[in-house]
Amino acid sequence: MSVAETYEGAVTHQNASTLKSEERRESMTFFGLSLPAVLAILVVVFLPVFWLSSLSFYNAAGELSMENYARIFESALYRRTFVVTFQISIAVTVICVLLGYPLCYWLTKVPDRTAAILMVFVLVPFWTSVLVRTYAWLVLLQRNGIINSSLMSLGIIEEPLQLAHNLTGSIIGMVHIMLPFLVLPLYATMRSVDTDLVRAAVGLGSSPRGAFWRVFFPMSLPGLFAGIVLVFILSLGFFVTPALLGGGKVQMLAQRIESTITVYSNWGAASALGVVLLLLALAMIWLMNRVFGLDKLFMR
């Protein structure tokens, strides 16, 4: 072994160890920076969830029991509540996709300036309180509301349509509130799609429609899936809109949790509903992950 070789080897070795320690220091710094957030999540999310979950295994008398879960699975009321919650969440998600996808696609086609102005129209309602927007819908949809009175004065309908105080009203209100959650991730993804690829496809002989479906659409999917998951999971836990626009007849899970607390003054019964909702939401995310491959999305 020559002197030079030894020297060179030492340098390499030294560089490697410096790099390694630098790397370690850097990861420690990042860990330190993320620590407050990790602690906050631990304290304000995991501990309460854990505490509430444990409460669900105690009955009103404070004994360990599965009573709270048994009631959920035995009672027709709770079953119906779960069915309604899922029906509404699916309907809201589907309508949001049907409205949101063309909107986002159109936004990518118009000049940037116009798109920015149009995005304001999406965002301003997003910044307004859910309660205010729900009451605004009530003003629009009710029997003597703006929609019914306009339609009647135009002679399109003779009797006012029942638009509020039912399932229709709840879904309309929820779609309006959820739409930005679909539009924002989807629009971001569509903007990042390289339009040259679509042009290349057309240049290579594809029809514009074929180029859209075979090139643009698949590349927009990650954003679409992210939006679908957001809208669906948020819809599962909705409270204000169905409570105000459902006329008391539309009862989703969050409303059932509230009434369980006020009627039974029993945290256990309400916690059990919360736990089931959480598990269902996790199961849905897992399922969507299997179907849509969401992990690819988060790896990006």
Partner 1 sequence: MKNNGKFTITAGLAASILAIATPAFAEGDVVFASWGGSFQDALRSAMLEPAASALNVTVKEDTTNGIQDVRAQITAGAVAWDVTEQDLPSCETLSREGSLEPIDYSIVDTTGIPEELIHENYIGFINFTKVIAYRKDAFGDNGPSNWAEFWDLENFPGKRSMHGKVNYNLEAALMADGVPMAEVYDTLATDEGMKRAWSKLGEIAPEVTVWYRGGSQSAQLLRDGEVDVIHMGHNRVESVIASGIEVAYAFDGGTMDVDCLLVPKGAPNVENAMRLINELLSAEAQARLAVTMPLGPVNTGAFDTGIISEEQALLVNTYPDNYGKQLLVDPTFYIGQLGELTEEFDTLIQQ
Residues that bind partner 1 (CB under 8 A): 75-77, 80-81, 84, 131, 142-144, 162, 164-167, 243, 247-251, 256, 259, 263-265
**Packed helices 130-141 and 146-153: angle between N→C axes, nearest 10 degrees:** 30
Which of 168, 214, 216 is CA-nearest to residue 196?
Answer: 216
Place of tokens 């910044």: 127
What's the min distance (Å) between Cβ of 155 and partner 1? 21
| 30 vs 264, beta carbon nearer partner 1 | 264
What's the min distance (Å) between Cβ of 50 and partner 1? 24
What's the min distance (Å) between Cβ of 76 and partner 1? 6
| 226 vs 243, beta carbon nearer partner 1 | 243
What's the min distance (Å) between Cβ of 171 and partner 1? 12
| 105 vs 135, beta carbon nearer partner 1 | 135
Joined tokens for residue 20: 């390694």
**Nearest-angstrom CA–CA distance, 273 and 183:** 30
Biggest CA-to-CA distance, the chain = 102
| 17 vs 149, beta carbon nearer partner 1 | 149
CB 288 within 8 A of CB 231: no
| 17 vs 259, beta carbon nearer partner 1 | 259
What's the min distance (Å) between Cβ of 267 and partner 1? 11
Which of 73, 52, 88, 289 is CA-nearest to residue 169?
Answer: 88
